[in-house]
Amino acid sequence: MRIQIQKLAGVFLLLTLFFAACEEDGIDEDGTGIIDGTVVVDGENTPLANVKITTNPSSTTVFSDASGQFVLDNVPSGDYSVQAELDDYLTAFEGVTVVTGESSTVVFELSLSSSTNNPPLKPILVSPEDNATDVGTEAQFVWTSSNSDTDPILYSFELRNGTTNEVLMVESIEDTTYTVDNLMLGVNYFWQVTADDDITPPVESSISSFATRDPNNNRFLFVRQEGSRNVIYSGSDSESDDEPDENVIQLTSNSENSFRPRKNNTAGKIAFLRSAGSDVHLFTMNPDGTEVDQVTSTIPVLGFRQDQVDFTWYFSGQRLYYPNLNKLYSINATGTGNRLVYEAPMGRFITEIDVNETNSLVAIKTNNADGYDARIVIINPNTGIEVNVIIENLPGALGGIDYSIDGTKLLYTRDVSGFEGPEYRQLDSRIFVYTIASDSTVEIDTAKPPGTNDLDAKFSPNEGAVIYVNTSNDGISPRNIYQTVLNNQNLRELLFTESFMPDWE
């Protein structure tokens, strides 16, 4: 009996030790740890305060402080889903394991809830106005819009060419303006703006349309110097006011040296000169500056000074005359059929040319290598014979020859000072009209200021006026294009500023 009691006592002792050990293990499982972390705005890392932090299984509830940080103390060890909740933001969940005596860190990036976020206001298109006309090749597009809350807005700009259906799409615009250049002339365009806050669905504006200027309405051509290069422009003259530089449109690129434009309405083309390597060649283009084609290739345009050399259309816009030193060439506008027409004596340079369309006679100005000892004569291109001598044997420079429509008169300029110098400077250039039948010359009084030159004179299409360049005789001042109405010398109108080499068709 004693032995059995002793055995039972031993068993009881072992059981007591076993359960005691089990009780120690249970204390470890019920230990506590810490959950800490930070709450920020998604994509910005801006701290969010007063975010409600809870766990599942439930432990304690805390709120993030001003720096977006929070701490949950004495969280029983185990696996938890931690929840971050704040009005106007999507509730976020992160899983975490709490280990006894340790800290577990979690970071929340909360996104705004689209259901509570206000979309941007619908953009309103301001400029160009809907159905606007005469818009230039460069246009600034302006619209208004605003956010209905604090969300930043990015805009998408879409512009469609109504002729080619080509679409220009520009995204992520922060401002409410966008500038587009190189718009095609004579085209209807359609444009639309979309506002996007990256939270709510994008908001589109209405579609607006406008039309660019019709290039055929710009009857004036001229040149301006842009940096070291010459650039061709077109423009018009508004009879309603005296403001210069009306509807000016750039036709050639600033990256090319293009000058001396001459339009032929029958051909619907503008011929002009352009530097091509070390040479100058004839080119043609449409009135809007498109479809540029090189005409000459093997024999370039060449004179005593390239800024003085000229050419002319003839044969209803199918052919062109141009000079190469003392030789006059004829070439098809397509670049074929180049042939020698006339050859002046050696040492003479053919500088300017114009054609009488009624009888095909050609007026040419020749000069020596310095630009002086100038002659203006009329030749028959079929025989090479001089038919008339308009002017010769006078000191000083001549220029600006232009036939009247009926071929009975010839316009030209002459430096009446007779000055001759190595820089081809002119001191008092004036405009004259020579009548062939009477062999008489009359000066056109343009009321030009003293110390200036009138150069590059041309008849207006109806021959009721002349256009010309007026500039100081110092050779470095700006050049401006004027119009003077014949028989009304008091009417002297400034057409285009800082411009030269005019053409009016």
- What mean pLDDT is predicted for residues 336-361? 95
CA–CA dist 464, 469 (Å, integer): 17
pLDDT at 262: 98
Kindly give the pairing relationship between strand 188-196 and strand 203-204: antiparallel
- Please name every residue paired with 313 in a beta bridge, in sequence order, or none if there are none: 320
What are the helix and strand counts (H, E) for the chain?
1, 40
* 161: its two tokens: 């060419």
Judge contact between 71 and 39, C-beta under 8 A: no
Long-range contacts of 21-28 (CB under 8 A, 24+ apart): 28/100
pLDDT at 29: 52
For residue 443, count CB atoms less than 10 angstroms from its CB and return exposed for 0-12, middle for 13-18, buried for 19 or more.
exposed
pLDDT at 89: 84
Q: Is the pLDDT of residue 47 over 90?
A: yes
> How is residue 268 annotated by DSSP?
T
CA–CA dist 369, 349 (Å, integer): 7
Handedness of CA 9, 13, 18, 24 (dihedral sign): positive
Average pLDDT, the chain: 90
**Please, which pLDDT band fits residue 16 given cuts at 50, 70 and 90?**
very low
Q: Give the DSSP H or E segment for 3.
A: helix 2-29
Judge contact between 454 and 468, C-beta under 8 A: yes
Q: What is the residue type of 264?
A: N
Q: Which of 48-62, 225-239, 322-336, 474-488 has the highest mean pLDDT?
A: 322-336
Name, in order, each residue with C-beta under 8 angstroms of 189's C-beta and a sequence gap of 6 or more. Answer: 135, 159, 160, 161, 162, 183, 209, 210, 211, 212
- Please name every residue paired with 480 in a beta bridge, in sequence order, or none if there are none: 470
> How is residue 302 annotated by DSSP?
B
Burial 53-82 (b: 16+ CB within 10 A, else e): bbbeeebeebebeeebebebeebebbebeb
Share of the chain above pLDDT 90, in %: 78
* 255: its two tokens: 């990256």
pLDDT at 372: 97
In the Cβ-directed half-sphere of 285, how many Cα atoms lie within 13 Å? 23
Q: What is the pTM of this model?
A: 0.70
Candidates 505, 464, 463; CA nearest to 216 is 505
Tokens 């090189």 belong to which residue?
294
**Please, which pLDDT band fits residue 115 given cuts at 50, 70 and 90?**
low
